[in-house]
């Protein structure tokens, strides 16, 4: 596994472990206030990023293009901001909500870019 595929897959392992740690901390403390952060970490960070990595591994031509590089950069950055923002928000700071909105929109745009890349690759 190389390039974009490798970056996404290794990132998925990091986010999966981070999500598991957060889940275990919530269980141990009986404080489930960060459940939305945990869920976003696991579903987007672990599952989606692993699937992105596997897709790009299976379709190396799609992974070699500029759009794939843009996808990985934007997805990684926006998810990182989103997760930190969610942690801050569910920690009690509502002032972070505008940043959360921007991060969510930017991640959605990165997913739309992936949908374009994937559709083009599987329909070619």
Give residue-wise pLDDT tens across range 44-93: 999 999 999 999 999 999 999 999 999 999 999 999 999 999 999 999 99
Domain total of the chain: 1
pTM: 0.92
Number of H helices, E strands in the chain: 6, 0
Supply the range of the domain harboring residue 66. 3-122
């Amino acid at each position: 596994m190389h390039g974009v595929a490798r970056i996404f897959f290794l990132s998925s392992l990091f986010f999966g472990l981070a999500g598991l740690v957060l889940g275990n901390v919530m269980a141990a403390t009986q404080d489930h206030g960060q459940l939305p952060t945990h869920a976003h970490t696991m579903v987007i960070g672990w599952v989606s990023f692993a699937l992105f990595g596997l897709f790009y591994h299976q379709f190396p031509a799609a992974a070699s293009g500029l759009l794939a590089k843009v996808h990985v950069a934007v997805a990684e950055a926006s998810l990182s901001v989103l997760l930190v923002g969610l942690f801050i928000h569910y920690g009690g700071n509502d002032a972070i909500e505008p940043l959360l909105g921007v991060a969510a929109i930017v991640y959605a745009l990165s997913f739309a870019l992936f949908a374009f890349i994937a559709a083009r690759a599987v329909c070619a």
